[in-house]
Amino acid sequence: VTVLTNGQPGTSSHIRARGSGAFGGNEPLYIVDGVPVQNTEFLNPHDIETTTVLKDAAPASIYVARAPTGVVVYTT
């Protein structure tokens, strides 16, 4: 898991769960409280209770074709 950021306050980070150059893009599938979302810019970091990264066979069995580059699950 790699987190890329420019270090500036208020900017978003990019998460790479399975490296770069993956088929279909590099962004993982984000799940917030059980709902798939495109990005997590709306989340307040203080509201996040847990973060789980699924990057091997686990996301493939749950999210099939939507998660070739991993899944990041947030619970608020």
For tokens 């709306």, name the residue: 42
pLDDT at 65 over 90: no
Answer yes or no: pTM beyond 0.75. no
pLDDT at site 18: 63
Check: CB of residue 37 under 8 Å from CB of residue 29.
no
Mean predicted lDDT score pLDDT of the chain = 79
CA proximity to 33, closest of 51, 54, 57, 56: 51
pLDDT at 45 over 80: yes
Residue 59: both structure tokens together: 């996301």
